[in-house]
Each structure stands twice: as C-alpha cells, then as structure tokens.
Structure 1
C-alpha cells in the first residue's frame, strides 16, 4: 500500500456500515493528532446521531482535532441557483427576467442541480485538505451515487467548457455589433465569468480526486455486497481512481456461541475465503461484529480501535 492520501472516500453497498466506518476512521485520525474533517454526503444523514450531536452545513467541532459536517444538497442547490439568478439578471434585459426566474425555480429541484450543488460544496471543503485539515473523510451514499459523484467532475468539466465556448462566440457577436454602433466600452459578462470559475473549480476537483484521494470500500461477508464490490472496483480502476482498503465489516467473532451462530459463522467463513481469493491483490481489513448496535460515541470507540490501521493507508 502506498503512502496515505489526505482525502478518503468511504463507499459501498447500502447497509454495510459505511457511516460507522467513516466516523470511526475520522475519530482514529483525530486521535492520532491529525486535524480531521468528517463529511457526510449521504442523504440519510445519520452521522450526527452516531457522533451524539446535531450537524449542519458548516463544519463544527465534535472532539479534539475532529470536525464534522453534513452537506444538505437542497440547501446548497438553492444557494447556487440564487447566485446564478443574480448573475443572469445582470446579463439580460428586464423583459426576460421573469422567464429566467421560472426556469431557475424548476432547476433548483432537479436531480442534476442537486448533485452539481453537492459537488460544488464538496469541492469547497476538499480544498481545505492539507491546509485547514490534515485529513478529510467523506462518508458517501450507496455505490451508484458514489460512482456518479466521483465521475461528475470529469463529465461536467467538458460540458462546461463547451458552454464557455458558446458563450464566448455569442459575446464576440455582441462585441462586433457594439463596435459597429460605435460603442467600444468593454462589457461585463457575469455569466461567462461564472462559467469560467466553474470550469476551473471542476478541473481542480478532478485533480484532487486523482492525485490526493483514495477510496476505501466497505462490504460484509454476503453474496450481494461481494458482487457489488467487484463491479465497483472495476469502475474505480477504469476511472483511474486510487483504491485503498476493502473493509470487511460485521465479521462474527469465533467466540460467538450457539448452533444458529455456528451456522452463520460457517457461511461467513465461505464468503471470507471467497473475498480473500477474489480480492487477493487488494488490501483488506476485517472489522468484527459487536454484540450491540453501534449507535453512539461510546460504541463507536470499539470500531475506531479496529479501523485505526487505516489511518496510515
């Protein structure tokens, strides 16, 4: 395993314990003296419950060297749309502003706008890696959402660049008409400025994901999570993203007793052997199933102890 990167994404199939592993990993990093930010992008937003305190859209301290934030995609989208509305109103005539407002109001509820706004807010936070924070841990939504999120900077950067070229062409025609009318005063273009800024932001985020981020995947020893992990690894490799450790969660301890648990352990043993065989070239870490739910800071401490090895990965 190569040297640890400052940004860690934690992904995997829904229900495998991503939030628990993310929170435990962030706590372990903070306990090691690293200024750490835990970011939740999962709409379920259970991170605050696990840490025992409410979280919002801005980072708050939850322990020594540990801050946490839950991104609200709708709030981020509303703020983004309002900023766009301000810029567009400066660039268009009063007659068309009502039409623009109707389109923006619809756009603020669109899925693509929500994901784009979440990406923008995430980009702001990730820019603090290595400066405000030594490490950033991102607790992601289930696999499909995570893969879209990681792929979006690459896709949107090209799309925004196309919009920039179209806007520049339109601006060139406008400048020519103004010159013919004898008006050579340079005209501000807030729309073009915003597009340029967005393109630079996406390029920067793409660099961060490829050069400074690593993706840890959480799975449990069952058939469907194993298959989904296999597909996710292929997708991450194809995208050129760095894969870290496979965290095999909820492994039944050998001392668990009773016939029922013995049968469950035997089946798990088969799946654990398959995980070792299929992912032999990947770094792996097992986390034992605890006797009770992990639902508060006290129970989280035991998982933190088990995932502490990830701090240097």
Structure 2
C-alpha cells in the first residue's frame, strides 16, 4: 500500500534529522526511476537548501537527474494571498470603505493563521502537480506543532470559508434589496469575493481527500525520552485528523559495539531501552532504523550513502 502512495511527508521534533531523511528518501525515489521526484521544504529554516548545496526558491529547481527541490516562503505566500483578497475586495466595496479595508488587510497579513492558510493553499497547489508533473512529492515539514496546524487546517478552514460565504451571500442579498428600494438598477456582475471563497473551499476539500488517500506521513524521532513522547502525541493527533501514518523513522542509532565502556556504552544502553519502547509503541506502523553516520550529511554523496541504507520501498 505504501508504494502506491505518491506523496510523502516527513516531520517530528526539531533537530531529529527529518530534513536529511526527507532529502535522502527523495533521492532514493528519484534513483528508482519511476519519474521525476520533487522535494519540498515547508520549514521556514532553509535547511534543505543548505543540505543540498543549492539555492532554492518558490519554483522547482533541478538538483540531479529526476530530482527537483523547492523552498516555500510562508511570508511571501501570505503577502500574495492577502493581495489577492485586496484585489477582489476593491472591486466589491464602495470607495468610502476602501481606507478601512486597507487597514484591516494590513493587519490580516500578519495575523495568526494567515501564514498557515496561505501555506496550505500553496501546499494544495503543489500536490496538484502529482502525478502529471512529478511522479512523487516528498515534503520536509516544519517542527511538529507547525506541521499539525498545517495538516488540520482543511477541516477548520473549510468550515470557516463556508461561514464567510454564507455571510457574503446575505450581504449581497441585502445590498440588492436596498438598491431595488432606492430604484437603482445595476447590471448583475460576478461576486469575486464569493467566487474566491467557493474556490478555496473546493480546493481545501480536494487537498483533504488527497492527504487521506494518496499521502503518508512519516514521523521521525531519535531514541530519546522527549522525542518518543512527542512522537506518541504526533501519531495520536494524526490518527485523529485522519492523516495516514507510515513507517516511523528512528534516526541516529549508534552501533551496538560503539565503545567498550564509559560514555558511549551508556549511550548505547540508553538507546537500546528507548528502542524497545519505540518498537512496542510504533512497531505496528513499521519501523525504519537509520544508523548514526560518522559525520553530518553534507551534499549529494553523503545523501546517496544514506539513501543506500533505506529499505527498497523507501
């Protein structure tokens, strides 16, 4: 079942190596020859670009044969999102209201939730590229809290958009009644604000279904107490949100023979205890064990070496 799902998401606690594993998985899939693969970073930190050693922007950039990558800029997307609302609203309101509208939109551009809404809209648009433009898409997501807000937005935003659309329809009807009472006749024209809201509600619904039917979320953790606890909560919340959870990736496992005694031996023993806990908690979802590399991954050669250690079905 996992191999049939073309969209993969990697996420987890900050600093557990999800960017490296997402990039290695994308490379692994690209070298499998199933078609072009796109690696997308939704993390405000530019770790993906630094890891690949390339400059990334808001459009796909070819990194290697069949491997592409891009970096989403939430602030730029939020600005474009609000600009689109401003353009539609200016056509729908009277000139007297425009100064107040401008003030509200400036605040809205920086309000909590606007960046997430714009980011999910971008996220949905990128998913639309699969499978026609890219056979597989791998998302390197922001740390756990940001990712959960992103993935649970469709249900919340769909209800919000439907509420706004209902209010907009009531306002439009009232405006029509007042014009009729005043004897003012105006040609019917498209309500661009309402049309935009309807398009967004439909877009969110499609993206939600694609997440459920075509995506897998791979939690990444290291064998440490806080990472295990956070991953438990993450998996529970993903289950509640009906986002399919794939194999859990356990990163930075020290070799069993690392150090005959002292510090390293204690670290190995601690990892072994937490790995037993991880196997009990997440073994039913499937585990991918990723050994600790001798040094930090840097560039294509290191990623290729890591990709070789991933299972055949990534």
Q: What TM-score, normalized by structure 2, do the two folds share?
A: 0.95
Question: Which one of 242, 257, 271 corresponds to residue 244 of structure 2?
Answer: 242
Task: Name stretches of at least 5 consecutive residues in structure 1 with no aligned partner.
Answer: none
- 1:175 counterpart = 2:172: no
Which gives a bigger RCO, structure 1 or 2 (Cα 8 Å, sep 6+)? Answer: 1
- 1:272 counterpart = 2:271: no
Structure 2 match to 1:213: 215
CA contact (8 A) 2:20 2:51 kept: yes
Whole-Å Cα distance in 2 between the matches of residues 228 and 182 of structure 1?
Answer: 61
Structure 1 match to 2:289: 286
CA contact (8 A) 2:5 2:216 kept: yes
CA contact (8 A) 1:25 1:308 kept: no
Q: Secondary structure of 2:287's match?
A: strand
CA contact (8 A) 2:12 2:144 kept: yes
Q: 1:308 to 1:111 in 2, by over 3 A?
A: farther
Q: Secondary structure of 2:233's match?
A: helix
- 1:252 counterpart = 2:246: no
Deviation at 1:271, TM superposition (A): 1.1
1:28-39 maps to which residues of 2 (within 5 A)? 28-33=28-33, 34-39=35-40
Q: What TM-score, normalized by structure 1, do the two folds share?
A: 0.95
Deviation at 1:26, TM superposition (A): 0.5
Q: Secondary structure of 2:113's match?
A: helix
CA contact (8 A) 2:11 2:144 kept: yes
Aligned length: 311
Task: Give CA deviations for 1:112-133 in whole Å, capped at 9, x if unaligned.
Answer: 1111111111111011111111
Deviation at 1:258, TM superposition (A): 4.7
CA contact (8 A) 1:233 1:243 kept: yes
CA contact (8 A) 1:29 1:308 kept: no
CA contact (8 A) 2:23 2:48 kept: yes
Deviation at 1:136, TM superposition (A): 0.6
Q: 1:2 to 1:52 in 2, by over 3 A?
A: closer
Structure 2 match to 1:97: 98
Task: Give CA deviations for 1:136-168 in whole Å, capped at 9, x if unaligned.
Answer: 111111111111110001110011001111111
- 1:138 counterpart = 2:169: no
118-127 or 103-112: which moved more?
Answer: 103-112
CA contact (8 A) 1:30 1:36 kept: yes
1:1-313 maps to which residues of 2 (within 5 A)? 2-33=2-33, 34-180=35-181, 181=183, 183=185, 185-259=187-261, 260-311=263-314
Q: 1:66 to 1:210 in 2, by over 3 A?
A: same
Whole-Å Cα distance in 2 between the matches of residues 112 and 192 of structure 1?
Answer: 20
Whole-Å Cα distance in 2 between the matches of residues 2 and 17 of structure 1?
Answer: 22
Whole-Å Cα distance in 2 between the matches of residues 310 and 164 of structure 1?
Answer: 44
Task: Name stretches of at least 5 consecutive residues in structure 2 with no aligned partner.
Answer: none
Whole-Å Cα distance in 2 between the matches of residues 308 and 30 of structure 1?
Answer: 14
Whole-Å Cα distance in 2 between the matches of residues 116 and 300 of structure 1?
Answer: 32
> How well do the aligned residues superpose, as a CA RMSD in angstroms?
1.5
Q: Secondary structure of 2:11's match?
A: strand
Whole-Å Cα distance in 1 between the matches of residues 200 and 62 of structure 2?
Answer: 30
Deviation at 1:270, TM superposition (A): 1.1
CA contact (8 A) 2:3 2:313 kept: no
